[in-house]
């Protein structure tokens, strides 16, 4: 069956739903960090290691997952991811030490990388004219799950504790895994979709400068996501404003809704105007969201930071769309695996840098690091990145300096 880049139905809907649910399970831990730290007596700097090790697990898996995405069907890969997520959730639920938490986080990272790279490769095979919207669908499912997870965790943990929240995650992952096994024969692997579409090229040689710029976007976006929504925003909400784990989770859930909105608008903008017209404002929005944490206003400003960081997070998917424009084909999974590898370097560096600055200097230093990186990335992309947009001519890449 071919990828349907239109409304979510058939194979595309099944893949997007799997990405959403698996992302939800993988990110339950985010809203639980303050409660985990309190119960296990861990300061924010040590808690940030949970996100760091999660990033290490993803980093080690990105490249092999990219190769696998070109060879096996998405639901087959998702079934493996679901098994890993179920096991990791159980490990989290029974953990009584930092070491146990880190082992669980590493397993989560492996499963998350398999899910993300597989889903991105699948949706990148849409026709170029609607590829931005197609990858925006992937982004909405992925980022929505990453925000829905904390919201669900907050509700369950508020009623029954953080261990119960991870137990619920194990059950959800197991159900998704069974469904993926049952449906694995229905959805074909991305290479077969490419063959159906006549997209048999293996991917052209991409200019090293452009490739480096796209990797920089991936690094910067993941750096910010790891540093803020996945680490410091929950900690700041708890320690500075006294918010409960339930309120923090619901706030991050609002961020999930904003990610759906941002992905939808960004996908249309990328297809109808230009890729860069979607990418640069997204990076600036994320930088502004981080900078808000230094303004007075209390919880309102904190929530506004969540919203802006979430709205702009689709920028990483726009950069992946450009990568697929320039070097797609049957080996697009490998290219996207390397792209996500660069991003997961940022996911590791972000919590480390932000956690260390927050512990040692304060919120302002962490904010400057994140906002400065995003603003710098936006400027570099505006000046140096080549444009790609769809058109009637076969060659649609416009190299702009």
Domains of the chain, earliest start first: 10-387 (1.20.1250.20)
pLDDT at 198 over 70: no
Burial class of residue 41, CB neighbours in 10 A (0-12, 13-18, 19+): exposed
Which H or E element spans position 328?
A: none
- Please give the backbone phi and psi of residue 398, each rounded to the nearest 5 degrees, phi first: -105, 110
pLDDT at 319 over 50: yes
- Please give the backbone phi and psi of residue 387, each rounded to the nearest 5 degrees, phi first: -95, 145
Average pLDDT over residues 63-76: 82
Q: Tens of pLDDT along 170-182?
A: 999 999 999 988 8
The pLDDT score that the predictor gives to residue 95 is 86
Mean pLDDT for the chain overall = 80
What distances in angstroms separate CA 281 from CA 13, 69, 127, 294, 327, one per listed residue?
28, 30, 24, 21, 24
For the chain, percent of residues with pLDDT exceeding 90 = 18
pTM confidence score: 0.73
Closest CA to 192 of 395, 333, 5: 333
Average pLDDT over residues 251-264: 80
Q: How confident is the model at residue 270 (pLDDT cuts 50, 70, 90)?
A: confident
Q: How confident is the model at residue 398 (pLDDT cuts 50, 70, 90)?
A: very low
pLDDT at 200 over 70: no
Q: How confident is the model at residue 396 (pLDDT cuts 50, 70, 90)?
A: very low
More confident of the two residues 10 and 375: 375
Contact 363, 237 (CB under 8 A): no
The pLDDT score that the predictor gives to residue 358 is 81
pLDDT at 322 over 90: no
The pLDDT score that the predictor gives to residue 19 is 92
pLDDT at 374 over 90: yes
């Amino acid at each position: 069956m071919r990828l349907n880049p239109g409304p979510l139905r058939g194979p595309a809907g099944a893949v997007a739903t799997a990405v959403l649910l698996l992302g939800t399970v993988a990110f339950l831990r985010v809203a639980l960090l303050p409660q985990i730290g309190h119960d296990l007596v861990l300061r924010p700097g040590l808690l940030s290691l949970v996100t760091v090790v999660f990033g290490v697990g993803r980093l080690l898996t990105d490249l092999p997952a990219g190769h696998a995405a070109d060879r096996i069907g998405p639901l087959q890969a998702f079934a493996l991811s679901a098994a890993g997520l179920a096991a990791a959730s159980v490990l989290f639920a029974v953990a009584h030490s930092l070491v146990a938490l880190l082992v669980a986080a590493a397993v989560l990272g492996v499963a998350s990388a398999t899910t993300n790279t597989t889903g991105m490769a699948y949706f990148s095979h849409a026709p170029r004219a609607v590829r931005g919207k197609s990858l925006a669908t992937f982004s909405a499912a992925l980022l929505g799950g990453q925000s829905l997870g904390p919201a669900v965790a907050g509700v369950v943990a508020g009623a029954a504790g953080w261990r119960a929240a991870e137990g619920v995650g194990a059950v959800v992952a197991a159900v998704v895994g069974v469904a993926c096994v049952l449906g694995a024969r229905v959805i074909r692997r991305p290479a077969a979709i490419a063959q159906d579409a006549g997209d048999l090229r293996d991917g052209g040689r991409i200019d090293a400068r452009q490739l480096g710029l796209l990797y920089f976007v991936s690094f910067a976006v993941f750096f910010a996501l790891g540093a803020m929504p996945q680490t410091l925003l929950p900690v700041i909400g708890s320690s500075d404003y006294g918010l409960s784990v339930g309120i923090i989770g619901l706030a991050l859930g609002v961020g999930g809704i904003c990610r759906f909105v941002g992905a939808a608008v960004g996908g249309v903008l990328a297809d109808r105007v230009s890729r860069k017209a979607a990418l640069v404002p997204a990076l600036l929005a994320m930088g502004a969201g981080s900078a808000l944490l230094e303004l007075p206003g209390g919880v309102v400003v904190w929530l506004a930071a969540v919203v802006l960081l979430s709205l702009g997070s689709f920028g990483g998917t726009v950069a992946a769309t450009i990568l697929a424009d320039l070097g797609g084909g049957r080996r697009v999974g490998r290219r996207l695996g390397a792209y996500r590898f660069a991003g997961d370097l940022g996911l590791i560096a972000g919590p480390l840098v932000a956690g260390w600055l927050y512990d040692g200097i304060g919120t302002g230093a962490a904010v400057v690091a994140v906002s400065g990186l995003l603003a710098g990335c936006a400027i570099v992309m505006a000046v140096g990145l080549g444009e790609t947009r769809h058109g009637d001519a076969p060659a649609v890449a416009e190299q702009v300096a």
